[in-house]
A and B are shown apart, each in its own frame.
Chain A
Amino acid sequence: MRRSMKIATATVALVGLIALGGCTTDPEVTPPAETEEPAPPTTENEWFDQALFDKQDAERDVVPEGPADQPWLQHINAEMVDTSEYASAGPKKACFANASISNPWRQTGWITMNQQLLALQEAGAISEMETRDAQDTDDTQIADIDYFISEGNCDVFIISPNSTAAMTPAVERACDTGKPVIVFDRGVNTDCPVTFIHPIGGFAWGIDTAEFLIDRLEPGDKVVALRILPGVDVLEHRWAAAEKLFAEAGIEAVFHFTGADPAEIKNIINDELARGDVHGIWMDAGDGAVAAIEAFEDAGLDYPVITGEDEMSFLRKWDATGLDGLGPVYSNFQWRTPLLAIQKIFAGEEVPKEWVLPQVPIEAGELGAYLEANDGMPDGHYAKFGGEDLPGYPEVWQQRQIP
């Protein structure tokens, strides 16, 4: 009996750890994040990179080149590369190593990508796309890429890396096959891919949102930052930029990790409201913004100034309440671009080496138009998904048929 007691104790300890660890840990969490201290305003966030900050800050103001009505084909400050060596006729087989479809943003993009695939199959550019989903695990994705290299019979590789450093050697192996490699969303530490497609980036998001809040708040006002999880570069960059600007403007900013769980978000806001006034809410993703806004309603307080995302639930709540908000965008339409790049590469057309897509926040004046354009879409849909001209629009996105 005494022994079973010990076993029970150990089990509980483990279960407790799993439960509590499970709330926020994620395979994407990279070692640096574990040691990250929430920086007091004066110290530097280790994710902060002044050069990248300046680059993205400048890119926000550049007028992108390319067709104005097709932002997924636009590019900013591009250095074009010649792809004539890959020029070849006939439909090609694409192999896609996807990091995951574990959040609404990736799911929306994945749906759009598949509809783009249908269009390109019809156009005869792509024969088929074989996809492997790494489910947020580096090891799985490395195995996926190696499988594609050895047995996939691929004409072209598309890789959406799970994490930057871990995926670099596998991407290099894919490049060594001599076939074109296209990387999008998160990056890798090698320039061997033909093109690396991504929106401007996290620092631009942080600058857009922080400037919006600073503009509307006084020094000394308090902003609560709701972050999903630590350690993912695109999310860390958003906060690193915003944190720096808040500190410079004398705004008191505290952050919490929420796991995008609305119950957790509501608890956090309730606690902050119990401690004192909250003037602004900053979110590193719009998922869960509604719960944050409702916490103010339940407490009988005025709405704070808030930055969310172009996610429909936030846009709808923003519209219904008339609060002062901004919908920053991490351009979801980038999921179309890799397939269109395949078409260009095999046609021998030049493509940008680093394909920086535009990333423009939704402001109050445009809100109505985006709501109208996305009428009937589910809450987890992203307004700037960019699939309006694809087959299956709008039913596929409305039904959210994930392939």
Chain B
Amino acid sequence: MSGPLHEFDKPNSYIGRSVARPDAKRLVEGQGNYVDDIQLPRMIHAAFVRSPYAHAEIVSIDTSAALAVPGVVAVFTASEINSQLLPWVGTLTHLKGLRSPPQLPLADQVAHWQGEPIVMVVAQSRAIAEDACELVALDFNPLTPLCDAAEALKNDSPVMHAEYDNNLAWEKKVDAGDVDTAFNRSDVTVVQRTFQFGRHTGVTLEARSVVVEYQTTDESLVFHYSGQAPHMMQAVIAKHFQLPEENVRVIARDVGGSFGIKIHTYGDEIATAVAAKLLQRPVKFIADRLESFATDIHARDHTIKGKIGVTNAGDIAALSIDDLTGIGPYSMYPRTSAIECNQILNLTGAPYNIKNYRANGSVVFQNKNLMCQYRAVGHPVAMAVADSLLEDAANEIGMDVVDIRRRNLLADDAYPVTSASGMKFSELSHQQSLERLVEMMNYDQLRKDQKELRKSGIYRGIGLVSMVEVTNPSPMFYGIGGAPISAQDGATVRLDAAGALHVSCSITEQGQGTNTIIAQVAAEVFGVGLERIKVTTGDTATVPYGGGTWASRGAGIGGEAVLLAASALKSQVLDVAASILQTTADTLDIVSGVVVSKADNSERITLDDLGRIVYYRGNELPSDIKPELIATRHYRVTDFPFVFTNGAMAAHVEVDTETGFVKVLDFWVVEDCGRVINPKLVDEQIRGGVVQGIGGALYEECLYDDEGQLLNATMADYLVPMAAEMPDIHIAHIETPTSTSTLGAKGAGEAGTGGAPAALLNAVNDALRPLDASIHQMPMTPERILKELYTNLS
């Protein structure tokens, strides 16, 4: 693929400019269009009776009292709902050995996790539906739940799924070089740690929401969707409802936050669609906050035994990890619950020059909520393990943590490089990013201050991370494994009779600014002002076929499709203009909505004049000119399985050693995501991502008891970061455009979340180091920190 064009670097280019989002205006005035805002004639509301047990036989269900409640339209169990569908299985062929039983929306005979839906009530209002839910009489025979991943792997553990011989869903081993010999070298210092990462979840402020309409006359279905991948949902629904795909329309309008949570197939949403079909009325299901905590996918529940060996000179001799993760009773569909482990195995140590690397991963079934992809999938864990081991090792051998990175980070001119785990890297800037970070945070001064303050019993810590992020994936991520997930995207650009540009694109908007950057690219490449661009995304009926937004692919893949389509349309327009003006296209350009002569910038014909000739007065054109003022182009990444970005981050914290409270004083990010289309939007994605990462590092955890009961399913008890505790975040950019596309843009949505936990972990440990205390469990709560500091509290 060709390399990046530098004409974007000209002054006043829309590409690289921090324009305000056109979408923002209507959102600040309360004119958003979220799924719960939808009111349709005869629309009814769904609520679910969910399993109170993590594992139980459903002995009997009596729905008679529920059915008798005035306003109740229907009460469904597994027999009515599940029978309408083909079951789904959360496996992909390229994740060899991954297994998972078939899944259907409602629990049938056995409930496998607390929160699993068992009975569906549909009524005139959500309140009435809930009243009726309370009257459903359920009789259970509780079974022993599997709640500990390590226990579940033991030979004598009860097996959750009778069709399997044990509780292993998947395992994988990576073994490169000779790790054992390296660890045993006499000049190698070995550091071993066991890391625990707490299960946590996305907590999108707009909960999962769906409204489904079913038209029996032509067996067509409209799925109003708060989610990221409309075409994927279209394929999923079509397949499992056994409908022709063209009869399924998925529409995503405003989405109140997703972060990967809303990219999976949820039984309650599919059941809602079945209800719409059975009842022939639109059905709305809005998860409430309790349901969200209990049934939105969870993520990042890993126990990792990590080991690093460094030579006396500070070179990483070897790195090995053993990853154990407990998912739910099923692997989530269609992206699978093995991907997070796979990413960890692939990416731990990725920024560094490591030849000897071993990684074992075990993914185990649990009677807890399902786990799957959530922003930065696996990266927060991988980066934290590697960089925590690295900084601990640096301290063991008396080396500065910046110096050890300088020594081991892949050199900026080393590329292309294939890592020990097989990841292909190109055009990264780890070393440059680190230097920029050190400079912007004034590292030396911070170390001086730290030393000084320790004398008065104030314990501050500085922690760094160097990281990579997977972006712009090719079909290697999902498609090759059989998932109906497109890794390519398309854009259609059309000029109308008034000189405005309409862009329809298959990537999607959840607030990150997708619609805005689409407009910026189109405006710049084509040559009109941003105010003359209308963008359509999110509706499978009106946009080209594509993948949607996930894995930070919108700007890089969708943006490139827009660039290609806009370029193509520009050529077509100039050809028509040349014919009208009786010149050649290469003498013309389009600037601010006007066709001009390149030579002297003189205006020759406006786009709306041209449009009117083409659309209304075709008689004025030579008969051999067939003007098409519309162009569609698609783009996919072909050179690499993923286009990696890199970054360097640092956290500065103060630990109150009497209380275990951690105050985040400052945070810095140097990010290289290739060409930046809108710096403000990228910066804000990074900031939001960092704060989400701080959440996982200090606050957030889904707490389960030994019976598989979720203890903190409310916003009072599950702690998300709020404004008073968060720092201002300083950001700098390095732009190494990717040569996999003309635009040269990589992805930026997830890096903040991928790196922040590592920086926090290192900063807290740096603060605790003089006290001979350390912590390798996240979230690093006050209780956990106090246990490391005070023996009487352990």
Q: Do A and B bind each other?
A: no
Residues of B participating in the A interface, judged by any CB pair closer than 8 Å:
none
